[in-house]
């Protein structure tokens, strides 16, 4: 029997975001506000972010994306006040988009000119998340600390130590991210082992580019037994079979980012979301990655999924609910999310 599907309002649908880089999630408007504040007191020589990143420009690829951060955004967001302001702004943006649970990730950065060491940076982010959560209690946020592929082992171990030290304040996991053209991930095995031993969860940027999809790299990462994988683009069939066999592994898939940055061949309908979302075992979670750069909020990612892969309403709701199983926020949080996400009637 043909039943007309009722329209889903993706903005009001309660959503879970598990792969969002804090700095990459800062909106252009927020960067502009920070810039204005600094410019007014002569504290920056940088150009207006609205000129550097014109609204509507999304064609950042792997060659232009990382320099945007290293040569611009990190120089603008470079003290406690701007970290706090931008973190609160990112939190509010996700809340306004109907996100009810958010895992942000960030690479601990020392800001010596502002008197912040890496621990001070993490403390500032957590304080801002706390303040934002008091304003908007519908959204619960947790923090993931990222190891950068360019890090030394000592730096990676420091990230794990920070994550461990701030565990009771909302840090739940470590991540490995950064320019996929750089680094040899096998260097980080002791850091990942230390994180797991400390009870931290592990999520890894996986096969994001051909350069980071060698057989050796993928085998190393799979041997770490990560709880979740991000992107999962350039994956050979044998590794796909391994992933499929790992029941309960989370796959953080980021459609707009992959399409706009030309990380996949073709457009949305060619995205590997189509290949993974029905596979039994792994749990697919649509995520934004860097909503500040690609300007596609999570509600829009769900809209794109429905549009390009023709998911029925019930399939959308089932997929959204499955995401609960792979959050790092603990059992109480899962319980809270179940009570929220199951309110959405599938009628």
* Residues that are catalytic: 208
Q: How far apart are CA 137 and CA 219, in angstroms?
A: 41
CB of 267 to Zn ion, least distance (A): 20
CB 82 within 8 A of CB 34: yes
- Rounded Cα distance between 28 and 266, Å, is 27
Helix runs in 170-260, H state only: 189-197, 215-223, 237-245, 255-260
Nearer to Zn ion, 23 or 87 (CB): 23
Q: Does 84 bind Zn ion (CB under 5 A)?
A: no
The verdict on 148 binding Zn ion (CB under 5 A) reads no
Instruction: Pick between residue 230 and residue 316 the one whose CB is nearest to Zn ion.
Output: 230
Least distance in angstroms from the C-beta of 213 to Zn ion? 15
Position closest to Zn ion via CB: 289
Task: Identify which range of 134-142, 241-249, 282-290, 294-302 contacts Zn ion by CB under 5 A.
Answer: 282-290
Question: Residue 211: exposed, middle, or buried by beta-carbon count in 10 A (0-12, 13-18, 19+)?
Answer: middle
- Cα gap 273→213, rounded to integer Å: 18
Q: Measured from the CB of residue 301, what is the shortest distance to Zn ion in angstroms?
A: 14
Nearest to 231 by CA among 212, 214, 215, 244: 212
Stretch that binds Zn ion, among 62-70, 268-276, 286-294, 337-345 (CB under 5 A): 286-294
Q: Which is nearer to Zn ion, 97 or 289 (CB)?
A: 289
Taking the least distance from each CB to Zn ion, the nearer of 35 and 224 is: 224
φ and ψ at 246, to 5 degrees? -90, 85
**Region at 234 (left for phi over 0; alpha for psi -120 to 50; beta for the rest):** beta
83 in Cβ contact with 77 (< 8 Å)? yes
- What SS3 state is found at 97? coil
The answer to whether residue 289 forms part of the interface with Zn ion (CB under 5 A) is yes
Residue 176 vs 320, nearer CB to Zn ion: 176
Q: Name the minimum Å distance from CB 227 to Zn ion.
A: 16
- In the complex, minimum distance from the CB of residue 205 to Zn ion, in angstroms, rounded to a whole number: 6
Residues, the chain: 347
Site size toward Zn ion (CB under 5 A) is 1
Measured from the CB of residue 45, what is the shortest distance to Zn ion in angstroms? 29
Q: Give whichever of 118 and 231 is closer to Zn ion, judged by the CB atom.
A: 231
Instruction: Report the run of H or E that residue 206 belongs to, with start and end.
Output: strand 201-206
Task: Give the angle 275-99-180 at the CA atoms, nearest 5°.
Answer: 50
With contacts defined by CB under 5 A, name the span among 55-63, 116-124, 287-295, 321-329 that binds Zn ion: 287-295
Site map 40..69 versus Zn ion, x via CB under 5 A: ------------------------------
The residues of the shown chain that bind Zn ion, judged by CB under 5 A, are 289
């Amino acid at each position: 029997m043909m039943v007309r599907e009722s329209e889903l309002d993706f903005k009001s649908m309660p959503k879970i975001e598990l792969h969002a880089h804090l700095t990459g999630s800062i909106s252009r408007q927020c960067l502009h506000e920070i810039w204005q504040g600094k410019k007014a007191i002569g504290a920056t020589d940088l150009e207006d972010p609205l000129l550097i990143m014109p609204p509507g420009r999304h064609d950042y690829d792997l060659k232009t994306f990382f320099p945007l951060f290293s040569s611009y955004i990190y120089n603008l967001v470079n003290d406690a006040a701007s970290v706090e302001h931008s973190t609160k702004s990112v939190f509010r943006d996700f809340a306004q988009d109907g996100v009810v649970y958010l895992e942000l990730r960030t690479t601990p950065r020392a800001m010596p000119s502002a008197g912040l060491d890496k621990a001070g940076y993490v403390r500032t982010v957590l304080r801002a998340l706390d303040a934002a959560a008091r304003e908007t209690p519908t959204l619960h946020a947790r923090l993931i600390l990222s190891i950068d592929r360019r890090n030394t082992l000592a730096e990676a171990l420091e990230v794990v130590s920070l994550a461990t030290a701030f565990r009771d304040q909302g840090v739940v996991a470590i991540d490995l991210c950064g320019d996929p053209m750089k680094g040899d991930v096998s260097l980080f095995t002791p850091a990942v082992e230390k994180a797991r031993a400390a009870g931290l969860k592990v999520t890894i940027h996986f096969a994001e580019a051909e350069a980071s999809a060698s057989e050796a790299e993928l085998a190393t990462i799979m041997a770490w037994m990560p709880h979740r994988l991000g992107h999962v683009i350039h994956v050979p069939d044998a590794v796909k079979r391994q992933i499929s066999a790992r029941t309960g592994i989370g796959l953080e898939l980021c459609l707009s980012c992959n399409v706009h940055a030309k990380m996949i061949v073709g457009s949305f309908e060619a995205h590997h979301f189509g290949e993974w979302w029905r596979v039994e075992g792994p749990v697919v979670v649509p995520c934004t990655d860097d909503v500040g750069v690609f300007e596609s909020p999570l509600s829009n990612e769900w809209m794109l999924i429905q549009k390009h892969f023709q998911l029925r309403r019930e399939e959308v709701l089932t997929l959204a609910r499955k995401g609960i199983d792979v959050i790092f926020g603990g059992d109480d949080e899962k319980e809270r999310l179940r009570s929220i996400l199951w309110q959405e009637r599938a009628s």
